[in-house]
Chain A
Amino acid sequence: MQLRLTVNGRAHELDVPAQATLLDVLRDELGLTGTKQGCNEGECGACTVLVDGKAVDSCVLMALAAAGSEIVTVEGLAAPDGTLSPLQRAFVEAGGVQCGFCTPGFLMTLTAALRETPAPSEDEIRAAIAGNICRCTGYTQIVEAVQAAARMEARG
């Protein structure tokens, strides 16, 4: 079936199976493999993308249900010249990345969270990422990355 979506600012017109999820379409039709499949049941958050600015598990969103929406994936976070977003930079510098498989999902969840709450407390950060599983880091350095990014953004 026909599907029109905007992904990372680019419009696409695709023909997708009715039962495809947004995750399937991003990875298989558009080749945007930065968004990961971790569980396919909306539990781990590795597939998180922004749909009209909101963090959503793309593995449980039917592609056709996203018709007409603006999608942002991890590939859309850096500037066109490759400059990392403050959050991406902070993740690298703070040790918030180990195996990195969960990282795109965390970045999307946190990009939306920081827009909403630019100076979150530690508790607010942990609550914001409750839907994202990390098996490697034990979360502390992720929290520190968010705090560093918030400070970077505040400094302007």
Chain B
Amino acid sequence: MTAVVGERVERSDGVTKVTGEAVYGVDHVEPGMLHGKILRSPVPAGRIARLDVSRARLLPGVHGVYTAADAPAHRAGWLLREQHLFARDAVRYEGEPIALVVADSVEAAKRALEAVELEIELEAPIGDVESALAEGARLVHPEWESYEVAGPEQYPRSGNVAAETVSDPDPAAFERAFAEADCVVEDEFRAPRQYQAFLEPRSAVARYENGRYVVHTASQYPFNVRDRVAQFLGVRPSDVRVVGHHIGGGFGAKLDASLEPYAAFAARAVGRPVKIVNERAEDLLTCPSRENAIVRLRTALSADGRILGRELECLMDNGAYSGEMPFLASVPMHVLGQVYRAGATRVTTRLVYTNTAPTGAFRGVGGLYLYFALERHMDNCARRLGIDRREFRLRNLLSSGDASLTGQVLEDADILREAFDRVEEVAPWASLSGRPAPEGKLRGVGIAACTWLTNPLPGSVTLKLNEDGTVGVVTAATENGSGAVAMGVTQIVAEQLGVRPEDVIVLMPDTDAAGYDAGSQGSRTTHIVGRAATIAAAEVREKIFAVAATMMEAAKEDLELADGRVFVAGDPDSGVALADVALAATFGSGPISGTGSYTTKPPAINPSCASGLLFPAFPTPTYHVHLAEVEVDPVTGRVDVTRYVVAQEVGKAINPDGVRGQIQGGVAQGLGYALFENIQIVDGRYQERRLETYRLPLAVDVPTVEIVLLEHPEAEGPYGARGVAEPPIVPVAAAVANAVADAIGRPVTRLPITPDDVLEALASPAPGG
């Protein structure tokens, strides 16, 4: 049997991408299509005093100009219904949609935008979380109490606090820990927004036909887009059909709807298909970027290096609307207790409204700044105690059977120690710690560990056996570039049904044809959809064997399926071609197909561990250790990452090239976060607005990552596979920051670590013991 899982199989969409044939969301066109452009608020906060579109409506080539007056009056949103389609009266962030022009061409639409008369009475913007929380601060949402939750129940929120998670399980033990500590270490860390910066800007093409909306979009989560379009337009979800395309990167930004509700609304209003595409500047300005945050940590330590107690306070910038952020307010609590013992703890997280673009999910979500904070803090604790940084970590590492702060038992947490050991084998800490720097440079080494999850949300797959022996795969799972579908799911189906990967044909996502899938997020696709595919495959195999048994006059139980043939086990040259079985079945017992759906069983947790914990567990955990070596130029402050090592637990590598690509790519994004990418916000306005100033890592900036894979199969995963794609980005800033702090002998408490920050740090005195 030709093995496919675990092999370097070419991705199924490689050729169409290298020839330029692949049709991405931005490439999709429809006959009679018109072009939409959104008029966006030029200011972060205010009230619309005048909005007159009459002149714009009369311009040549313009088919319609729409505002709140034309749109439904109700509110929509992922978790909290707080947003109108167009701003009505209140404007809450720079870039907020106020009107939509539909015209013959993009140029005509832009001219019409200029002709819209808009006056806004400015309000002093609430530009950051501390201002929003200040005594007497203006409310970003004065009507916050009237908003409906789209889920089962209300969650803690009030005023400018969009969501709050508080965990204080044992105040007495907590006080004792700090009172008895030999040493208390306290730190504060800050991290900026990070823009996903996928190469393909967001887009949508919609038409209205037969009483339904049909939306073409390169979405990571078509069912979510369907729901949001339906919400905004006040129709049933099934009145909306979302069709997917090749996606030019998403990294979380394309999980929620963005332009789709506008294109759909316009298509119905104007009676023709409408296409809307973001220009890069507007995409950057309005993208649901990774939130900026402030993290404060306090640890009570014993002299012998044990952690007695920990306090974490996290302030997350929600931006003007919540999206899925309230779920992410749970992440700090998970991070604090799933790698190192934390003793007696208190965790407070506040997600705070500001007059800035709504923030959202970007690969690794808040894990990046949380592990940055935690791991910088660990280094600081070790330094204060006079204990080696790596040794201090090992002393406080969780073991299998330990529980995180939510009560979730981490059955295989011993993998963390193994990951440290595996990194040690290729990058021995003692030899790296003392290495002299090259002439004129400073050298440092840093280490960081993290535990991450595999998102548990449901997925489904239908497999149909075509008469020619090829296999059709109907799923709404999205291939965002990671290879989870073009490699992962494809290879799993190929191996399960004994066909070549080239004979597995996966349909583009279509919410009319496929069952629910929760999208490419949280590294879930290979694990969840792969598992659903094996369930579907089992049904298909059953049916194949039933038909083949009759054809071959053999017993079903004796049959095997491999290399496009059904044969009696042990006698591969016997038997029949799968195509013959398929043909016989189609016109005999009936066409063969099978369906599977899967969602991870939620791990048991302690439900009273915290209030407001909307995301209670980190299911199917994975364990990782990263090591970074840097050289710092004390003249320019530039940081060069000279070596980067990753030890990652993957369960089972379905495709080694795919796994390597996710690790190398995730580390590159993490380096961008650590060193180059920054969105400075002043009075609610982004200072970096284009790719010239929002600097993405280039080929000359990213080292080749040394990869050590750990493969402890996970019982529920297809072939034991766990989620792979998110974790590589998560501890990168932590490892690099630790290395830089080691190199310069000064604290690093902010990201990105700019040359500016390095020189300023070097100019200040070294901290005492």
Contacts and interface: CB of A to CB of B under 8 A. Distances in A.
- Do A and B make up one complex? yes
Interface of A: 17, 32-41, 43-44, 46, 73-75, 77-78, 84, 88-89, 91-95, 97-104, 107, 125-127, 129-130, 132-143
Interface of B: 10-11, 13-15, 17-24, 26-27, 107, 196-201, 246-249, 251, 279-280, 480-483, 657-658, 660-661, 664-669, 690-692, 696-700, 702, 704-705
A135 B669 contact: yes
Given A36-B248, A103-B17, A138-B705, A129 B661 contact: no
Contact of A91 (B14, B196, B692): B14
A136 to B, nearest CB: 5
Nearest to B13: A100
B660 A141 contact: yes
B699 A126 contact: yes
A138 B702 contact: yes
Contact of A98 (B15, B481, B692): B481
B295 to A, nearest CB: 26
13 contacts: A41-B690, A88-B19, A100-B246, A103-B18, A104-B18, A126-B699, A136-B481, A136-B482, A136-B665, A137-B668, A139-B699, A141-B661, A143-B699
Contact of A137 (B15, B248, B664): B664
Contacts of A135: 196-199, 249, 251, 665, 669, 696
B668 A43 contact: no
A122 B144 CA distance: 56
A140 B664 contact: yes
Smallest CB-CB A-B distances: 10 pairs? A34-B20, A99-B481, A100-B17, A101-B248, A138-B668, A92-B14, A138-B664, A74-B20, A95-B657, A98-B481
Contacts of B199: 36, 38, 44, 46, 99, 101-102, 133-135
Given A100-B246, A126-B699, 9 more contacts: A37-B26, A95-B657, A98-B483, A99-B248, A127-B699, A132-B699, A133-B691, A135-B199, A140-B702
B527 to A, nearest CB: 19
Contacts of A73: 20
A35 B699 contact: no
A43 B700 contact: no
A82 B196 CA distance: 34
A112 to B, nearest CB: 16
Contacts of A17: 107
Q: Tell which of B197, B246, B691 has the most Cβ of chain A within 10 Å.
A: B691
B21 A92 contact: no
A140 B18 contact: no
A97 B17 contact: yes
B409 to A, nearest CB: 34
A78 B661 contact: no
B27 A99 contact: no
A39 B280 contact: yes
Contacts of B280: 38-41
A77 to B, nearest CB: 8
Which of A40, A94, A100 is most buried by chain B, counting CB atoms within 10 A of its CB? A100
Contacts of A143: 699, 704
Contact of A34 (B21, B201, B248): B21
A99 B247 contact: yes
- Residue from A36, A98, A104 whose CB has the most chain B CB atoms within 10 Å: A98
Contacts of B482: 98, 136
B446 to A, nearest CB: 19
Contacts of B26: 36-37
Contacts of A36: 24, 26, 199-200, 248
